[in-house]
Structure 1
């Protein structure tokens, strides 16, 4: 997501004789660890059903009970650029399937564009998009977007979870319009012209105001429209407007030449051994104190210090250095004999 938000907001205000900046947080989060654990969906399970890439606070653990586990206090560093954000964000991992049957994790890079380049060592970019007055998440809040078991593209709202074919290896060469519009697809593009694939995951922006979580990690929140607009008016069942969280991932597929592709089926799969219909993101809130609320109230913008909220953007060498060891040890880099599922993965 780049200039379209600023331009859209400015255009709307210019009609009334004013010009203003569309303010939102947009920042980089580097890889904390790639690990087969999931404290949201499979708490306490070592070697969970599929592999995740995790970013954020280094207190990320096998089991993170909401009431007892205060990420902001327990984390000593974060792999995200804002020092005050000890939240954890994670997604499934994209793999390339070679025609010989082996698998390779698709590398990730940061994003560029008119709003500035974000530097990532793996990981993803995070957005907090306000729409009017919003209420920041409370300690212990967590949610899930998408369904890791879904194999039907038609069951996914393309306006909230999508993929885009990027025909350049330069992320600065912006392609298309707003996220999850135009030619974006639920399915992972299988086009040899794609040099990168951008994945977008947009979370609900309305909350019931009571529950920090729910059994399915979804029922306590609700969507109010589609797209990265901050969301519309909230329904009466979920009346509290939240900052809209969006993940943006740039998967670099340029090294996987078409000569390596399997004879049939998509060469790109997520770590559930499923396609784009199963794309999903997990979120566990962990900002220090009321720093996120202040950032929203004071129109803090992009990836820069904001004194009014007391938030500070770290240099890449600082947040890149925040990593942890796997808690379900197995190889995840290089060519693997099979997808990391079931038993511990082994190299090809």
Structure 2
């Protein structure tokens, strides 16, 4: 049985490595309490986000007059042509004395090779058959920042994995959001890192670039990082499946003598909520038809793809693309309280 399980894991890894997909690193552009998708025009939004991608990111990003592909002058992501913005909540550790510290992040390894980033996250575009690239102005949200019930989360699309080594290039487990992966943030002291996965819907209604809840215009077709299955008639247009992976390095927080005495999970997201509230935001910003060409020409991983006109930047180049906070506050070191609530102002 053990050998059969190991063989299955190896097969999953090989299949993942063989599948053509874009898989690339994005370093942190900024860690900031702004959210132009859910709280446009607001500084000091209810919770903190880490943002990656094009440097035209701002507190409003009105889709009628803000095209990241046209306005950004650099991107913190691997491909020069990708000026999109991607963001998630931030993971914190709460110590016994009531102080908080932001959990550091590293790149991600695995069977497709190691990715290098300075904080931030890794992005995948996974095709399944013929797909239609996103259009300018497209945006969407995965997950629910207010949810506290793990049963209301599809564990095949949003999950966490315990990584028992600080070596991110050591492949652990099977496909994303499978096996022992959990909606909740793991609390085992054997975890040296925690990998967070957020998989977005891959079906679109073909009409609306956004919707009031930022979710109704798209739909899931199955679960897992497969590119998605057949789309429903309500959302007939097949999109590339977008997936975020984040590697939170928790190794320096595993001394239980500093954990809360009430037995609560010391790891939480910046909403002061655990894993069921994990979420990701996406604003499309690829130049021209470069993403469509990348999907049509089977561009792979984080490499140059001449057929689509994709140019891979060096880590030094995309790491250098940063932006000052638009809602200035301390987010690093030990904090007396989470950066959240109480200060929201309209620009």
Q: CA deviation at 1:5?
A: 5.8
Residues 184-223 of structure 1 correspond to what in structure 2 (within 5 A)? 184-223=181-220
Contact 2:12 2:174 in 1 (8 A): no
Residues 226-265 of structure 1 correspond to what in structure 2 (within 5 A)? 226-256=223-253, 257-263=255-261, 264-265=263-264
Residues 87-166 of structure 1 correspond to what in structure 2 (within 5 A)? 87-166=84-163
Q: CA deviation at 1:172?
A: 1.2
Per the alignment, in what secondary structure is the counterpart of residue 28 of structure 2? coil
One of 48, 52, 66 as aligned partner of 2:45: 48
Alpha-carbon distance change, 70 to 177 in structure 1, aligned in 2, over 3 angstroms: same
Per the alignment, in what secondary structure is the counterpart of residue 338 of structure 1? coil
Q: CA deviation at 1:258?
A: 2.0
Alpha-carbon distance change, 120 to 4 in structure 1, aligned in 2, over 3 angstroms: farther
Per the alignment, in what secondary structure is the counterpart of residue 119 of structure 2? coil
Per the alignment, in what secondary structure is the counterpart of residue 38 of structure 2? coil
One of 167, 172, 176 as aligned partner of 1:170: 167
Contact 1:94 1:270 in 2 (8 A): yes
Contact 2:14 2:111 in 1 (8 A): no
Match of 2:78 in 1: 81
- Write the distance in 1 (CA, Å) between the matches of 2:10 and 2:125: 16
Q: TM-score, normalised by structure 2?
A: 0.94
Alpha-carbon distance change, 23 to 65 in structure 1, aligned in 2, over 3 angstroms: same
Aligned-residue RMSD, C-alpha: 1.4
Q: CA deviation at 1:343?
A: 3.8
- Write the distance in 2 (CA, Å) between the matches of 1:149 and 1:8: 35
Contact 1:54 1:88 in 2 (8 A): yes
Q: CA deviation at 1:4?
A: 5.6
Q: CA deviation at 1:6?
A: 6.5
Q: CA deviation at 1:3?
A: 7.3
Q: CA deviation at 1:173?
A: 1.4
Alpha-carbon distance change, 44 to 9 in structure 1, aligned in 2, over 3 angstroms: closer
- Write the distance in 2 (CA, Å) between the matches of 1:210 and 1:3: 41
- Write the distance in 1 (CA, Å) between the matches of 2:60 and 2:303: 32
Q: Aligned pairs, how many?
A: 334
Question: Which 5+ residue runs of structure 1 have no aligned equivalent?
Answer: 11-20
Q: TM-score, normalised by structure 1?
A: 0.94
Q: CA deviation at 1:7?
A: 2.8
Question: Which 5+ residue runs of structure 2 have no aligned equivalent?
Answer: 1-8
Match of 1:338 in 2: 337
Q: CA deviation at 1:113?
A: 2.0
